[in-house]
Amino acid sequence: MGEFVRLEVSDGVGTIRVDRPKMNALNRQTQDEIREAAVEASERDDVRAVVLYGGERTFAAGADIKEMAAMSHTDMVRASGDLQDSITAVARIPKPVVAAVTGYALGGGCELALAADVRFAAADATLGQPEVLLGVIPGMGGSQRLPRLIGPSRAKDLIFTGRFVKADEALAIGMVDRVVPAGEVYDAALAWAGSFRDGARWALRAAKEAIDHGLETDLDRGIEIERQQFASLFATEDRRVGMESFLEHGPGKARFPG
């Protein structure tokens, strides 16, 4: 457990909780601790799905600009890979991941949310990539994940202008997947993650890898990735149990051993 980030596990769901007062600014220590929590969540068998959460007030207001302003070009050349690695570690968790976005998710905080598989936002949440207003661009994957999520023209609008996006607009453009009352966002995310508690663990992992890696290549290669993942699941006990249960009891009644 880190000073600013902890992994809390309960009933099959791991919550990666960012807690750095006052606004969860992502300094280098916090980024390192996010990476460590993501690796732990990936490796633990008792974690079947993950919630990213910054608390009731704010998800993460962005990078620690005071820390970053003091860095030289050579400092950032050395540090930039680590900045991206912390977010990539979250994106590579081989389990369903949902971001529970409250308050502000700006800059690096927005990029952290983008690394999740889905995003649930509080009705009063605000998202954005305002780096251009500081004379830079997103540096933790935002210029790549955002256009893949909402399309290049919409992503360019947000990144070029640096404007903030309220929850209703974020939902309309596909930046978030569900908007709920502010006091319910964590519970909604927890319920979504909990639905995979008894799911087909290896099939979920294969589905995530097929989608994510398929998006990184052309359609023909993506289809081949799918074929390999599909065939590999015939080596699992989950596949045997799932198909036998379907034949005997119908769909949706299998109890997967994982």
Residues annotated catalytic, as ranges = 111, 131
Strand order in the sheet with 126-128: 104-106, 126-128, 165-166
* C-alpha count within 13 angstroms, C-beta hemisphere, residue 235: 6
In whole angstroms, how far apart are CA 155 and each of 70, 100, 133, 195, 215?
Answer: 29, 21, 15, 31, 17
Cβ partners under 8 Å of residue 191, min gap 6: none
Which amino acid does the sequence have at 206?
A: A
Dihedral pair phi/psi, residue 175, rounded to 5°? -75, -30
Q: In what order do the strands lie in the sheet with 97-101?
A: 5-10, 13-18, 49-53, 97-101, 118-122, 178-180
Structure token pair of residue 253: 């009644």
Is residue 114 classed as helix, strand or coil in its secondary structure? helix
Rounded Cα gap, residues 79 and 75, in angstroms:
6
